[in-house]
Structure 1
Amino acid sequence: MNKLLNGKIAVVTGGSGDIGKSIVKTFVQHGANVIFTFFSSIKEAKKLEFEFKNLVEAYKIDLSDFNSSKNLVQKVIKKYGSLDILVNNAGIIKDNFLLKISEKDWDFVIRTNLYSIYNLTKHAIHPMMKQKKGSIINMSSVVGLTGNTGQSNYSASKAGIIGFTKSIARELGKKNIRCNAIAPGYILTKMNSHFRSKIKEDWIKNIPLKRPGTPQDIANSTLFLASDLSNYITGTVLNVSGGLI
């Protein structure tokens, strides 16, 4: 196999979730050392760490905390000497109609999904600027482009990620640091398993490829944006939705 990330150091947030695990595994298979974060799924994180032994490290961290994000980047640089790839994948949902969304749930989604990207990216760009290279990939969503009933908080966070991505791409392009976003459509994960079967069926009817996506579909797209194959791509939102939008 041609290893597209040979010798690269990558940080992947939300590495114990379905999409995160696929990204971590794909990156390792392509030659990267991966440091991934998790918040609650300790069992899944330890299984993934054990599976790849010295090639993967797991860190439990609240990414919405500014100093915790700073400490993580400092640990990575101290141990590995560089940071080549940052994948801001961590995210949560607290779905409800706006009339019923509490201030607490609104704040929780925005802080977890949007503040975390600001916190980690702000610290990660310092070593990347010294290296004069780097790839940052932010996980948005098709609902950040279209909106969705009952997901005003989630949609707002994902739309914010797109604006952030495009701005950072303009700021850091002269330093040879690329920043792109991925907008997944309907992907089969535990996070959306609570949706009713009728809702899922309606989604699939509207997908031209007539199937939901898989975590590996997203991992493959992330690999492309992390690798040198995408050296002339920045500020782009890659729509991975089977043609949904």
Structure 2
Amino acid sequence: MSVTNSALTLDLSGKVCVVTGATGDLGRVMARTLARCGADVAINYLRNAEMAQTLAAEVRELGGRALVVQADVTQKESVDAMRDLVHAELGVADVLVNNAVIQYDWTSVLEQSVADYESQFRSCVLHNVLMAQAFAPAMIARGAGGRVIGINTECAMQNFTSQSAYVAGKRGMDGVLRILAKEIGEHQITVNQVAPGWTISDRDRASGTEHNEGYEKNVPMKRRGTDQEIANVVAFLASDLSSYITGAYIPVCGGNVMPAI
């Protein structure tokens, strides 16, 4: 099934998409959405094997091929092993969705542990470096282009108190991906970032916490976005419709942050 409107179709039929952190709140919706557009999906997880298998079954029900891959995206050997399995089972990846990130407790710069800064460097910066080094050479050799999509955050522009480790990681990721866009653009491989706001997920729906007045009052659209709205932008960037967009940081946050020229 493809995602359509009256004029355009997001058709990812025959495309191999690798989604890291695919079992997370946002990752699972992105994996399903790519599958609904016709893609085959490699579902990366670290610990939640049960959810990974559930997602794989959903992808197959939608008509796509699915591969479940356990890998730690902060470790080169693990990422390289994931690449080898994807290539062997699904073929050369067309689309990378670098979504995984390590969760931690936020506090002030003066109190945040060094380990938290290191974890954010590894899961934001090194994660994207390792995925590019593992998968991009085969994309280049094939000569058919490709897509790299990093999941960033509106926090990278806000710089609020207690966000320092997260923002440091995401801003470092931003620099890596902008340079990568310049380095591999000649091969028709685009590199872009999607930056969600505070997004409504299934966890919110289950607990009835979809709304937060303190946050929503500052958002021009006066609401929080949904996981599906984030996934829709990822699917667009994965498609041929985005073929001349690269190096972009795209907030999907109802206007809560607005990059300036």
Asked if these proteins are the same fold (TM beyond 0.5), I'd say yes
Q: Does 1:89 align with 2:99?
A: yes
Q: 1:172 to 1:110 in 2, by over 3 A?
A: same
* Aligned partner letter, 2:195: A
Query: Which residue number in structure 2 is paired with residue 80 of structure 1?
Result: 90
Q: Which stretch has the larger CA shift, 94-103 or 9-18?
A: 94-103
Secondary structure class of the residue paired with 1:34: strand
Tell me which protein shows more helix as a share of its residues. Answer: 1
CA separation in 2, counterparts of 1:219 and 1:124?
22
* Aligned partner letter, 2:240: D
Secondary structure class of the residue paired with 2:103: coil
Q: Does 1:210 align with 2:217?
A: no
Q: Does 1:179 align with 2:191?
A: yes
Q: How does 1:28-67 map to 2 (within 5 A)?
A: 28-53=35-60, 55-67=65-77
Q: Which stretch has the larger CA shift, 105-114 or 128-137?
A: 105-114
Query: Which residue number in structure 2 is paired with residue 116 of structure 1?
Result: 127
CA separation in 1, counterparts of 2:215 and 2:252?
14
CA separation in 1, counterparts of 2:25 and 2:55?
11
Does the aligned pair in 2 maintain the 1:140–1:158 contact within 8 Å?
A: yes
Does the aligned pair in 1 maintain the 2:10–2:235 contact within 8 Å?
A: no
- From 100, 106, 110, the counterpart of 2:117: 106
Query: Which residue number in structure 2 is paired with residue 145 of structure 1?
Result: 157
Q: How many residues align?
A: 241
Query: Which residue number in structure 1 is paired with residue 23 of structure 2?
Result: 16
Does the aligned pair in 1 maintain the 2:94–2:147 contact within 8 Å?
A: yes
Gaps (5+ residues) in structure 1? none
* Aligned partner letter, 2:33: T
Secondary structure class of the residue paired with 1:181: strand
Shift of 1:3: 5.0
Identity %: 32
Does the aligned pair in 1 maintain the 2:67–2:89 contact within 8 Å?
A: no
* Aligned partner letter, 2:140: M
Secondary structure class of the residue paired with 1:153: helix
Shift of 1:93: 3.2
* Aligned partner letter, 1:233: I
Gaps (5+ residues) in structure 2? 3-8
Q: Does 1:129 align with 2:136?
A: no
* Aligned partner letter, 1:35: A
Does the aligned pair in 1 maintain the 2:32–2:58 contact within 8 Å?
A: no
Q: 1:190 to 1:163 in 2, by over 3 A?
A: farther
